[in-house]
Structure 1
Amino acid sequence: MRLSRRGLILGGSALLAGCSSAASTTNLQLAGAAPASLPVLPIPAATPQPVAATRVSGPVIDPHGVVRKDLMERAHAALDTHGHKISRRDRMYLVDFQKFSGEDRLYEVDLEGGWVTAYRTSHGRGSDPAHSGFAQRFSNEMDSHMSSIGAYATAGANWGSQQGPNVLLDGLEYSNSRARERAIIIHGADYADPAFLAREGKLGRSYGCFSVSHADLVPLRERMGEGRLLFAMT
């Protein structure tokens, strides 16, 4: 079958029209032709999100807020600063010299369980010359009879000819470095017993030692041991 020149022209026009339609936004469909199917694009898989690792935290220390916050924070910082001298990290001891001597202000903090046990303790007579019940001055000097602030390391149970059973302390900072020389220790005293407090309304004063009641000395002497932090501040 021979095609005329006119047929070739018409056929070519149709082909050109088809290419133009494919490029345009208007879709033309020939009668009887199957509808063109649109390509199916794959749905991208959701990018897996990193799962945060479960943080295993320790116990909540002092959940009831017995110890004032800045004292607790400073004590934890002292644990890091003097880590080479503090070999035991199961508990630490804090003294809040802002508080009245008749109040509980010596704290045993259990770093493994989180609980806090509070005791009373005396301050030095040189720190409170008016015997107001509040320590106002602090010193590291011999014969000052003042309390010293800062970080100490407990140095174990001891027995002295004057004070009897006690706990030795080593000062770790410039503010208390002469603690052993000054015989600054933890010991029991009549002026720290509940009967004295009930009678006088405040505890008596030491020569700079952390004096406690005779009854409280028993558990403290056993539990303080050696290599634990005692931190005192105002």
Structure 2
Amino acid sequence: MRLSRRGLILGGSALLAGCTSAASTVQLAGAAPASLPIVPVPTVAPQPATLAKVSGPVIDPHGIVRQDLMERAQAALDTHGHKISKRDRMYLVDFQKFSGEDRFYEVDLEGGWVTAYRTSHGRGSDPAHSGFAQRFSNQMDSHMSSIGAYATAGASWGSQQGPNVLLDGLEYSNNRARERAIIIHGADYADPAFLAREGKLGRSYGCFSVSHADLAPLRERMGDGRLLFAMA
């Protein structure tokens, strides 16, 4: 009895290609030797190497922020890269949403998570006080909110509003933010008690007013050189 084995080596690992064995035979006197069947060895095509996919974190895996707002903000990071020095977090405001809803978002660009807050809009953007911002302006004394990309400019303190975060407008739609004193600050009309009583937040003069409780972590984390992007 004879045993034969053939192997094929692919990518450093042994792959068994085929195995044949001859059965023992008895040759009778005067009989022709029995011929063994020929079993073909299958050919295995080499497989291409598979590269591990390298990717960053999934941003907002639960879809808290509407997609077009997220995409526009991410594009603004590149457009205004010379003014946005920090890329660990960004801040988004969705002015399509009702003022009583969470619509101010902190997006962790390294971990992917999103934290949502409430914020007010300007009284000039909602003259009927419906809870929805309907128009926007960059003009002095318009008391309207402004949309577009901002760069945070660090924690500050004002005689009227107290602790706040300064903003620099980066686009024609908001580049007078410093002149108009458009900042992030705490306000009683953005506190949960006001919302529970009135069913919506009060209106600012164009600032991104938040609750006093929310201002503390935002003021600490926003710092300077991060993107805030507001969109209707």
Task: Give the TM-score range, shorter chain.
Answer: 0.7 to 0.9
Alignment of 1:96 with 2:114, yes or no, is no
| Rounded Cα–Cα distance in structure 2 between residues aligned with 1:144 and 1:51 | 62
Letter in 1 for 2:57: P
SS in 2 for 1:113: coil
Between the aligned partners of 1:84 and 1:48, the Cα distance in structure 2 is 48
Matched AA of 1:64: H
Aligned with 1:216 (options 214, 217, 224):
214
Amino acid at match of 2:148: G
**Alpha-carbon deviation of 1:55?**
2.3
CA distance in 1, matches of 2:92, 2:159: 27
* 1:50 Cα offset (Å): 4.4
Structure 1 residue aligned with 2:33: none
* Unaligned ranges ≥5, structure 2: 1-40
Q: How does 1:80-119 map to 2 (within 5 A)?
A: 80-119=78-117
SS at match of 2:178: coil
Matches within 5 A, 1:83-232: 83-232=81-230
Return the alpha-carbon distance in structure 2 between the equivalents of residues 55 and 112 of structure 1.
18
Deviation at 1:51, TM superposition (A): 2.5
Please give the alpha-carbon distance, in whole angstroms, between the structure 1 residues aligned to 2:66 and 2:134.
Answer: 18
Return the offset for 1:181: 0.6
1:187-226 per-position Cα deviation (integer Å, ceiling 9, x unaligned): 0000000000000000000000000000000000000000
C-alpha displacement at 1:122, in angstroms?
Answer: 0.1
CA distance in 2, matches of 1:227, 1:149: 18
Please tell me the residue identity of whatever aligns with 1:144: S
Counterpart code for 2:124: G
Give me the identity figure in percent: 90
d(CA) in 2 for partners of 1:60, 1:73: 13
Structure label with greater radius of gyration: 1
Which residue type is aligned with residue 183 of structure 2?
I
Between 189-198 and 51-60, the greater mean CA deviation after superposition? 51-60
Could you tell me how far 1:46 is from its partner in structure 2? 7.3
Counterpart of 1:10 in structure 2 is none
Paired with 1:86 and 1:50, the residues of 2 have a C-alpha distance of 42
Q: CA RMSD in A?
A: 1.5
Gaps in structure 1 of 5+ consecutive residues: 1-42
2:44 is equivalent to residue 55 of structure 1: no
**In 1, distance between residues paired with 2:224 and 2:51?**
37
Shift of 1:63: 0.6
Higher strand share: 2
- Structure 2: which amino acid aligns with 1:132? S
More helix by share: 1
Query: Matches of 2:192 and 2:226 in 1, distance apart?
Result: 27
Q: What is the alpha-carbon distance in structure 2 between the residues aligned to residue 171 and residue 138 of structure 1?
A: 14
1:53, distance to aligned residue in structure 2 (A): 2.9
- Out of 72, 77, 80, the residue aligned to residue 79 of structure 1 is 77
Looking at structure 2, the residues matched to 47 and 116 of structure 1 have their Cα atoms a distance apart, in angstroms, of: 47
Counterpart residue identity of residue 208, structure 1: G
- Give the alignment's TM-score, normalised by structure 2: 0.80
1:52-92, Cα deviation, whole Å (9 max, x unpaired):
43221111111110000100000000001011100000010
